[in-house]
Amino acid sequence: MDVNSSHGFPFAIVGFDLDGTLLDTSGDLTAAVNHALGSIGRAPLSVEAVKPMIGGGARAMLRHGLDATGGHDAETLDRLHHLLLEYYEAHLAVHTAPFPGAIEALDELAARGVTLGIMTNKLERFARAILGALDLTDRFASIIGGDTLGVAKPSPRPIQALVEQCGGGKAAFVGDSIFDVQAARAARLPVITCSFGFLSQSVEALGGDAIIDSYAELIPTLTRLSPSAT
């Protein structure tokens, strides 16, 4: 029997991406990128310019930032990657906050008996530090980073581990990038995409099973979404 059958809710587990899905981390990530760029005299990037670079991990984000401001070589990328991580670790939650309505949605899911998890390509220690700073850690039965298992999205393994750590059962994933969609698909989970996320292409082009424009739409969308959507 589905653990949520008494509530009439189709999912026992809902997993979330972090950056651009649950949390707006763009301000702090942009500051970290600009700190690294500034160290070699590059012009700073706007938050809107950095948003599409987020999602594949800090190194990929920095590589995009370097390419947007004059290019890069391997040695520079390695050196500035360390500089970016040092700065970011010291400034994780200056501007970062949950997207509007996210906490209310988490509350409602918990009230329905749904177990919650996080799977992000961010380093696990950074994810845990941010969630701790925002007093959100205890809401999640599983917190998996891009380095936790040695593989990140789009591999399905971290999402599969999230489901296992949350106790197993029917699960859905919520994200904002092609990595989220590819990983959820490969893990055979339905996936909801967020139009308010850090999109590198149109949200429609991501090919999720459903789109939400705000967290007010999450519970109704999950209620309509079949666990066998994929």
Q: Considering 2, 17, 67, 213, which one is annotated as catalytic?
A: 17
Beta bridge partners of 15: 117, 173
Residue type for position 12? A
DSSP 4-53: TGGGT-S-SEEEE-TBTTTEE-HHHHHHHHHHHHHTTTPPPPPHHHHGGG
> By three-state DSSP, how is residue 185 classified?
helix
Copy the structure tokens of residue 32.
Answer: 């970290």
Instruction: Say how many C-beta atoms besides its own lie within 10 A of residue 111's C-beta.
Output: 9
Copy the structure tokens of residue 7.
Answer: 């509530």
At residue 162, what are phi and psi to the nearest 5 degrees?
A: -60, -45
Interatomic CA distance for residues 5 and 83, integer angstroms: 49
Q: Are 122 and 58 in contact (CB under 8 A)?
A: yes
Please indicate whether residue 73 is annotated as part of the active site: no
Place of tokens 């918990």: 110
Q: Are 9 and 222 in contact (CB under 8 A)?
A: yes
**Residues taking part in catalysis:** 17
